Amino acid sequence: MTAQRWTEQDVPTQAGKVAVVTGSNTGLGFDTARVLADRGAHVVLAVRDPAKGEDAVERIRSTVPDADVSVQQLDLGSLESVRKAADELRGRHPRIDLLINNAGVMIPPKEITPDGFELQFGTNHLGHFVLTGLLLETLTGTAGSRVVVVASLGHKLRGDIHFDDLNWSKSYSRSRAYAQSKLANLMFCYALQRRLEAAGAPTIAVAAHPGFTDSDLMRHVWPIARPLMRVTGPIVGQDPSVGALPQLRAATDPEVHGGQYWGPDGFLEMRGKPVLVSSNKRSHDVEVQERLWTVSEEMTGVTFPI
């Protein structure tokens, strides 16, 4: 099987596995959940709005009638919600094979979470950092388990970790705050994989990005840019069912290794079939990764049991 031909049909059976997919009521997360359910996994749709989650369950069952799918309320912008969701997931699922950290927000107006974090950093990075940390014992107790971190091409666009102002209290740039959060995703993945390896854990951490995909993540795009995106989107971008392939491959391909990064094979990685790609040099700065890890623990009060 060549990399260029890899499609959702190549996802191996997931029978007996439990997969938790954040932000799975729409877009990339929905198609990821749909495919995993079709391959026999019990899929937990971890979503902010349970009603939308139940609607997604019905849409999955309309194409996969015997889908084993459930809904878990999870608001990644609230550490209280993340802790509650993690408690409930641990109680219901003695094993978790896949944790796919897919949910996110992109370039919204300035907003602060209930815990005092800038929304994009708090949701995209810190929320998933906490969820992963609280579920890690269950994951590492499951042979062959994986944590998939969904990043973005946006990490390359002036991406940096602004330790002097992580919450953008001095000034706010939507795009730079987004780039920071997605760079943080990658740094978290690489630092987590390093810890898993050192501990000899049976779990790996893998990153993926969807290229340019038309999804609800684009809802905060500046109004002036929307007409252009409607014209160029079908040319340079792709449908969520294709955009989800890199994270599906990262989650299920038996040839995948920890610390890898998967994305589309097309021009500028905007679209195409999933292949190994490279994140920028900054994302591999171990000193910054470790500093971010320590700061994330301090901000959230969550430490990892490895």
C-beta separation of 147 from 205 below 8 A: yes
C-beta separation of 129 from 115 below 8 A: no
Pairing of strands 18-22, 98-101: parallel
C-beta separation of 183 from 285 below 8 A: no
Burial of 13 (0-12, 13-18, 19+ CB in 10 A): exposed
178 a catalytic residue: yes
C-beta separation of 259 from 145 below 8 A: no
User: For the chain, give me the number of helices (H) and strands (E)?
Assistant: 10, 8
Backbone angles phi, psi at 208, to 5 degrees: -155, 160
In the β-sheet with 274-276, what is the strand arrangement from edge to edge? 68-73, 42-47, 18-22, 98-101, 146-150, 204-208, 261-264, 274-276
Burial of 112 (0-12, 13-18, 19+ CB in 10 A): middle
Q: Which of 172, 178, 190, 261 does the annotation list as catalytic? A: 178
Pairing of strands 146-150, 204-208: parallel
CA trace torsion 279, 281, 282, 287 (10° rounding): 110
Say how far apart CA 154 and CA 151 lie, in whole Å. Answer: 8
C-beta separation of 185 from 155 below 8 A: yes
Residues acting as catalytic residues: 178
